[in-house]
Structure 1
Amino acid sequence: MSENKRIAEELIKSVGGPENIESVTHCATRMRFIILDEEKVDKESVEEIDKVKGAFFNSGQYQVIFGTGTVNRIYEEIAKFDLKTSTKSEQSKEAGKKGNKLQRAIRTFGDVFVPIIPVLVATGLFMGLRGLIMQEEILALFGLTTDDISANFLLYTEILTDTAFIFLPALIAWSTFRVFGGTPIIGVVLGLMLVSPALPNAWGVAAGAEPLMFFGFIPVVGYQGAVLPAFIAGIIGAKLEKAIRKRVPETFDLIVTPFLTLLLMSIASLFIIGPIFHIVETYILDIALFVLGLPFGLAGILLGFFNQIIVITGVHHIFNMLEIQLLENLGNNPYNAIITSAVAAQGGAALAVGLKTKRKKLKALAMPSSLSAFLGITEPAIFGVNLRYGKPFLMGLIGGAAGGFLAAILKLAGSGMAITVIPGTLLYLDGQLLLYILVNLVAIAVAFVLTWMFGYSDKDTQKEHA
């Protein structure tokens, strides 16, 4: 029997057997079970299984952390058993029935924005690369200056960096329709209507151009880069489509349903939803900028300390909208510069535990978990090591606050979002790379030293390992 097959069998047995599993799927790092009876789950046995780096109930799911790569191989073995497997989106819908209203709302918000993130990550990397190649020092290595760069090449770089944000409402409306049960292609078209070239460009209006005035008092503009108008329009549009479809005879459904949905939603989006929620979005951005602009590095201390606590609650995806708005309006992302220190610090704390402990299994768990954190994924370090022993997690929070303080003082800001620590270096190639490395090293060093000195001792955990 292969090791992965044995682990799969032990895991199924520890969560209560096949009869206690409603469905199973996985994401990049975790196996996700929907459990029928939580009391039948032997949590201690699960965490003792080889390669398991932590497990917890969250968002209506029992999530078992294996880490990238490993989780795929374990899932392949689990899929061979007589269990109901599902896609992540299908299981999210099932899990969405559990938890309180706030948890369900935030989980739904994440389901909408998570599929869009890879495109925005790529866009951020394009911005970073453009910033790198346009530096005079880099051009000088090839005997060039900025005057030698052709206008066509600059235009091409703008296509790479601007397209996702220009058509962002279409991406958001598509994803929202998909999550709320509408027809995604209708969502795409509705989103494209919000950025139609027939409308005054949002950036042009911001620079002083006049919006279109309907009925003498309703300003109508394009919503390039906007988030909330497309999100709200997507929710209402998906529900409207389903309501229309129920009332239209099947013979006419193909013609009538999309026609009425797009007609009614275009009117509502351009004349009601857009103007109102564009103002709401502006206020949200102003609040975010106020917090990020707090003096004496306070924003960095607060966000650097609390970021990973928010990650534990599972509501951190709600900040995706904030990062998108920062990139759209500022052209950079100071939030990313702060939270990368929070991520790095948890890796530093786990590294300290791994190097200090004499326990072979804990060492084998902590060392790769710290590497995972340095690659931007903190769940193995948090749930497998730091949070399990408590103090290392606290020391990681302090390290995150220290690094965040430095990032705020240095006014560090990335060119994109969603990647941090080592991969995040690609967002700081525009002359900020050394400062970015310094911020991460400070966060790691503070968390490591505090954990080594005060955060972990094998003696303190002797009972657990007895």
Structure 2
Amino acid sequence: MADENRRIAEELVQAVGGEENISSIAHCATRLRIMVKDKEKIDQDRVEELDKVKGAFYNAGQFQVIFGTGTVNRIHEQMVAIGMPEASKSEQKEETKKQGNWLQRLLRTFGDIFVPIIPVLVATGLFMGFRGLITNIFPGALPDNFLLYTEVLTDTAFAFLPALVAWSAFRVFGGSPVIGIVLGLMLVNPALPNAYEVGAGDIDPLYFFGFIPVIGYQGSVLPAFIAGFVGAKLEKWLRQRVPEALDLILTPFLTLLIMITAALFVLGPIFSAVEAGIMGGANFVLDLPFGISGLIIGGLHQVIVITGVHHIFNLFEIQLLADNGLNPFNALITAGIAAQGGAALAVGLKTKSKKLKALALPSSLSAFLGITEPAIFGVNLRYIKPFVLALVGGAAGGFFASLFNLQATGMAITVIPGTLLYVESAITLILYILTNLIAAGVAFALTWLFGFSDDMLD
């Protein structure tokens, strides 16, 4: 096995233009990421023909080769063993930040900030789902203290969401993360009027100078993001000018003083209004009648995944959960993901090619576990029609989910693992299962009938 992986690594090096064309290598859960000097020297067809390769694509300086979980670690080890320069993902990210246009760089930055806080929001969503399941099974039988305990599990992350966002923004933009945490906590200090209570009309904002409304920013994302960005830049600017002997005391003091003043009186009010406008537009699409929102989002989400900028939706989902505790977007993108798995499964079962079968079947399983890149780049997009017909399946599943207003209790997990976000009631669970079956089933049937034949292998 080690000899085979070494052979694949050696052939891969030659296929991407040789050692002299490789700046560094790194890997994530499924992909080997190769920083190349000249993308014109890459022989992509040759790469995709290599054993164990499930797909490959170039994006902003990185040539990404999909091997799948486990395999990518072994190929990476062999690449290092034959002398390829290794880099951490963070080092490659720094290099990648210089690549692409301003919009690509902006969207990557959003991903860098929001992806690290997603695990705690996933856990929160699971807690909410299980609480709904338990309270439906034992209605009225649970003690009040138990319900209070579950509220601690489900409400804490969103109660202090600005602290998480400001922490991550300071980390990404080069500030001290601990200052970001404190700044974010200041935005939700209990001394400030609670944003939810102000929104409900139960209490009034504080007014400074008679016209500047000041409230807490519970559940807000964009104000904390902007405060984190500006605060990190301010801290770096101050550190270059404050004498070293005073840096430990004066820099944090001035950063927090200036930033909380700016956040409460200027940045917060302005970007709360911007955030409300963005969410209004997004909710307009989600609220389109007759299942139209599901057709659009379920049908087009995986097109956006190809571009690699789909992490921008994290901001939207986080805000949905912070506002309502529910996330209708998850069900719609789940349909698109399940459909890619259904199309890849059809290709894998229909083809007589052992190599394609060995690629398509595991890729479809990966999609059903929520990771579509192997199915998209390794199978469906390679033959075009399966990918397009999977978009149709995603639209069908999204249409069904939208008709029934299916909503998750969390985010970031989909298809089979995502079932845990829909266990709040039997009806919700059944609707979620039907959404996946419709999406995958339509994509499977269309791909089997019209989307693939072995003649396409030529």
TM-score strictly above 0.5 = yes
**Offset at residue 115 of structure 1 (A):** 0.8
Structure 1's unaligned 5+ residue stretches are 140-145
Q: Which residue of 1 aligns with 2:445?
A: 449
Q: What does residue range 170-209 of structure 1 map to in structure 2 within 5 Å?
A: 170-208=163-201, 209=203
Does the CA-based 8 Å contact 2:321-2:327 persist in structure 1?
Answer: yes
What do residues 307-342 of structure 1 show as CA deviations (whole Å, max 9, x unaligned)? 000000111111111111111112211110111000
Structure 2 counterpart of 1:277: 271
Quote the Cα distance in structure 2 between the aligned partners of 1:250 and 1:378. 50
Q: Does the 8 Å contact 1:333/1:417 carry over to 2?
A: yes
Q: Indicate whether 1:215 and 2:209 are aligned.
A: yes
Q: Distance in 1 between matches of 2:80 and 2:250?
A: 42
Partner of 2:28: 27
Using the aligned pairs only, state the percent identity. Answer: 68
Task: Report SS of the residue matched to 1:124.
Answer: helix
- Cα deviation for residue 424 of structure 1 reads 0.5
Q: Distance in 2 between matches of 1:305 and 1:2?
A: 43
Deviates more, 1:86-95 or 1:413-422: 86-95
Contact 1:332 1:413 in 2 (8 A): yes
Q: Indicate the residue corresponding to 2:380 in structure 1.
A: 386
TM-superposed CA distance for 1:429, in Å, is 0.2
Residues 255-276 of structure 1 show CA distances to partners (whole Å, capped at 9, x for unaligned) of 2221111111111111111111
1:438 matched to 2:434? The reply is yes
Contact 2:294 2:401 in 1 (8 A): yes
The residue number in structure 1 matching 2:153 is 160
Deviation at 1:168?
1.0
TM-score by length of 2: 0.97
Q: 2:143 aligns with which of 130, 133, 150?
A: 150
Give the secondary-structure state (helix, strand or coil) at the position aligned to 1:388: coil
Give the match's secondary structure for 1:352: helix
Q: Which amino acid aligns with 1:210?
A: D
Aligned-pair CA distance for 1:253: 1.8
* DSSP-derived class of the 2:65 partner: strand
- Residue 188 of structure 1, CA deviation: 1.1
Q: Which amino acid aligns with 1:33?
A: I
Kindly indicate whether the alpha-carbon contact (under 8 Å) linking 2:33 and 2:62 is maintained by their aligned counterparts in 1: yes
Question: Would you say how many aligned residue pairs link Structure 1 and Structure 2?
Answer: 454
Q: Which moved more, 1:18-27 or 1:114-123?
A: 18-27
State the SS of the aligned residue for 1:62: strand
Distance 1:363 1:332 in 2: 39
Whether the 8 Å CA contact 1:174–1:188 is kept in 2: the answer is yes
Alpha-carbon distance in 2 for matches of 1:234, 1:402: 40
* Matched position secondary structure for 1:229: helix
The 10-residue stretch of structure 1 (338-347 or 216-225) with the greater mean CA deviation from structure 2: 216-225
Give the gaps of 5 or more residues in structure 2. Answer: none
Q: Which amino acid aligns with 2:220?
A: A
Secondary structure of residue in 1 paired with 2:291: helix
CA distance in 2, matches of 1:402, 1:263: 52
Sort the Cα spacing of 1:80 and 1:259 in 2 relative to 1 into closer, same or farther, 3 A: farther
Aligned-pair CA distance for 1:375: 0.3
SS at match of 1:377: coil
**Equivalent residues of 1:60, 1:96 under 8 A apart:** no
Determine if contact 2:389/2:451 at 8 Å carries over to the other structure: yes
Within a 5 Å distance, the mapping from 1:250-399 to structure 2 comes to 250-399=244-393
Moved over 6 A (4+): none
SS in structure 2 of the partner of residue 16 of structure 1 = coil
Q: 1:166 to 1:81 in 2, by over 3 A?
A: farther
Q: TM-score, structure 1 length as denominator?
A: 0.95
1:120 shift after superposition: 0.9
Three-state SS of the structure 2 residue aligned to 1:188 is helix
After superposing the two structures, state which structure 1 stretch, 83-92 or 414-423, moved more: 83-92
Q: Equivalent residue of 2:34, what SS?
A: strand
Is 1:54 the counterpart of 2:47? The answer is no
The residue type paired with residue 331 of structure 2 is A
Once the two structures are overlaid, the 10-residue window that deviates more, 45-54 or 372-381, is 45-54
Deviates more, 1:65-74 or 1:93-102: 65-74
CA offsets 1:181-226 (integer angstroms, 9 cap, x no match)? 1111111111111111211112221222111111111111111111
Q: Is 1:99 aligned to 2:93, yes or no? A: no
* Residues in 1 aligned to 2:121 and 2:73: alpha-carbon distance in whole angstroms: 25
**Inter-partner Cα distance in structure 1 for 2:78 and 2:122:** 32
Deviation for aligned residue 1:460: 2.7
Following TM superposition, by how much is the alpha carbon of 1:75 offset from its aligned partner in structure 2, in angstroms? Answer: 2.1
CA gap of 1:108–1:149, structure 2 versus 1, over 3 A, is same
- SS of structure 1 residue aligned to 2:58: strand
CA distance in 2, matches of 1:164, 1:87: 29
Contact 1:59 1:107 in 2 (8 A): no
Letter in 2 for 1:236: V
